[in-house]
């Protein structure tokens, strides 16, 4: 059992990391196997942060990443004294946070050989924050290791990139994801379907495989393009999509919100209805935060739904250009074939472009219902 078992289909990367761990444990080592700053990149869902955390665990573990000891378990859960885990739920990592971090990063490790900083979203560093990191990442104290994660190398400053060693994770193959899901007790058919539909995004595959309602929603969304025949049906489809996204976001948010609220109230010592002074304000702030989070969740769900619809048209396009062997949505092959026969590839491509444009507009904070309606009308 090793911490690297958690990485799916990343044999090459694991080999590099294991050599690095061996080199890191030998103080006389003169090879270049280990270095002080790493940049993990890879598509969403490929396990960037998992890889970084596993590497961190193996660096602080006395057995080189056994996966069972206290060091490993605490490192993986982010509570190890010498593993600094920087995560953010917000949109960016600010410079003040980084200034503080740089000081802490320079400390000598308390129990382990190394102090490891794992930054899960290095792409969210603001420009000034990233610049503040430069010197620390270039020449850290001798026992500090930096592990940064970002979707692609262009998402971080070139000056950061040039100071780090880049490791690119591959998109896990559908077969590997399917095997993983089967190992978790999911039937072969379901695992294969979820692996194909999620396009190598492990988290999404697991979600699809485990949750019947998630599959239903996906099916509903994918059938939307076929229902559009005129403007009226386009508007109806847009309404249904936005409604579904809102409903899902609300449902998920409520599950989280109530728990958080209860925990906060308990922390402020609420008994019955009375709250300690200052508690009401904290509760209000939390509620505000939860509201903005819910807005973002709606947007995230819509984005994912649009991507699903785009994969549908991508399949149509593939059939039209004559290579229909690798569909993302094999379950809908008859609908896809029918649509492929009735339009031209140029039109299909134009539709995908419309969807991509809509996604960009959503990111720019356009009103969801409006842009989705505009898109559906163009998808006729």
Name the residue nearer to another protein (CB basis): 67 or 172.
Answer: 172
What separation in angstroms does the CA of 206 have from each of 5, 14, 184, 212, 297? 17, 22, 9, 11, 19
Select from 242-250, 284-292, 322-330, 333-341 the region that touches another protein (CB under 8 A).
322-330
Tokens in use for 32?
A: 């270049």
Are 76 and 57 in contact, with CB atoms under 8 Å apart?
Answer: yes
Query: What is the rounded CA–CA span in Å between residue 53 and residue 304?
Result: 26
* Least distance to another protein, CB of residue 10, Å: 9
Cα distance between the two ends of the chain: 53
R_g (Cα) of the chain, nearest Å: 24
Contacts 24+ apart (CB under 8 A), 184-192: 186/210
Instruction: By CB under 8 A, tell whether 310 contacts another protein.
Output: yes
| Site pattern 204..243 for another protein (x: CB under 8 A) | ----------------------------------------
Q: Of the listed pieces 178-186, 269-277, 289-297, 341-349, which binds another protein according to CB under 8 A?
A: 341-349
92 to 131: interface string for another protein, x by CB under 8 A: -------x--x--------------------x----x--x
Residue 314 interacts with another protein (CB under 8 A): yes or no: yes
Decide if residue 356 touches another protein (CB under 8 A).
yes
Q: Is 19 in the site for another protein (CB under 8 A)?
A: yes
- For another protein, give the closer residue by CB, 270 or 343: 343
Beta carbons within 10 angstroms of residue 128's beta carbon: 12
Instruction: For strands 37-41 and 144-150, give the pairing.
Output: parallel
Residue from 151, 260, 261, 369 binding another protein (CB under 8 A): 151
Tokens for 346, please give them: 């140029």
Which of 37, 86, 117, 309 is the binder for another protein (CB under 8 A)? 37
267 binding another protein? (CB under 8 A):
no
Helices marked H in 106-227 — which ranges?
Answer: 127-138, 158-161, 174-183, 188-198, 202-210, 212-227
Contact 163, 176 (CB under 8 A): no
| Locus of tokens 């190598």 | 200
What residue ranges bind another protein (CB under 8 A)? Answer: 12, 16, 19-20, 23-24, 27, 29-37, 43-44, 99, 102, 123, 128, 131-135, 138-139, 151-152, 154-155, 158-159, 161-166, 168, 170-171, 173, 199-201, 307, 310-311, 314, 317-318, 320-323, 325-326, 345-346, 349-350, 352-353, 356
């Amino acid at each position: 059992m090793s911490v690297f078992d958690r990485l799916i289909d990343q044999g090459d990367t694991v080999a590099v990391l294991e050599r690095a761990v061996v080199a890191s444990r030998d103080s006389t080592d003169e090879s270049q196997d280990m270095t002080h700053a790493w940049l993990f990149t890879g598509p969403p869902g490929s396990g960037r942060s998992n890889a970084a955390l596993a590497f961190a665990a193996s660096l602080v573990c006395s057995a080189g990443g056994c996966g069972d000891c206290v060091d490993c378990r605490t490192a993986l859960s982010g509570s190890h004294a010498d593993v600094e885990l920087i995560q953010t739920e917000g949109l960016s990592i600010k410079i003040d946070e980084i200034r503080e971090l740089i000081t802490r990063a320079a400390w000598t490790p308390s129990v382990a050989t190394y102090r490891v900083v794992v930054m899960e979203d290095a792409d969210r560093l603001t420009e000034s924050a990233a610049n503040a990191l430069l010197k620390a990442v270039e020449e850290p104290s001798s026992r500090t290791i930096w592990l940064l994660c970002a979707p692609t190398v262009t998402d971080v400053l070139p000056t950061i990139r040039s100071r780090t060693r880049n490791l690119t994770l591959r998109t896990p193959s559908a077969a590997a994801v399917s095997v993983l899901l089967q190992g978790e007790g999911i039937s072969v058919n379901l695992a294969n379907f979820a692996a194909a539909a999620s396009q190598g995004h492990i988290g999404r595959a697991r979600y699809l495989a485990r949750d019947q309602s998630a599959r239903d929603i996906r099916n509903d969304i994918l059938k939307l393009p076929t229902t559009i025949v005129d403007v009226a049906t386009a508007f109806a489809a847009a309404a249904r999509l936005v409604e579904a996204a809102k409903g899902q976001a609300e449902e998920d948010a409520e599950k989280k919100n109530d728990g958080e609220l209860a925990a906060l109230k308990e922390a402020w010592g609420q008994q019955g209805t009375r709250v300690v002074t200052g508690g009401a304000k904290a509760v209000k702030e939390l509620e505000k935060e939860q509201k903005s989070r819910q807005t973002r969740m709606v947007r995230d769900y819509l984005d994912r739904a649009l991507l699903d619809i785009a994969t549908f048209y991508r399949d149509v396009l593939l059939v039209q250009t004559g290579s229909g062997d690798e569909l993302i949505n094999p379950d809908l092959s008859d609908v896809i074939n029918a649509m492929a026969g009735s339009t031209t590839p140029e039109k299909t491509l134009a539709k995908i472009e419309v969807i991509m444009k809509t996604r960009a507009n959503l990111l720019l904070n356009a009103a969801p219902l409006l842009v989705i309606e505009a898109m559906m009308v163009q998808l006729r």
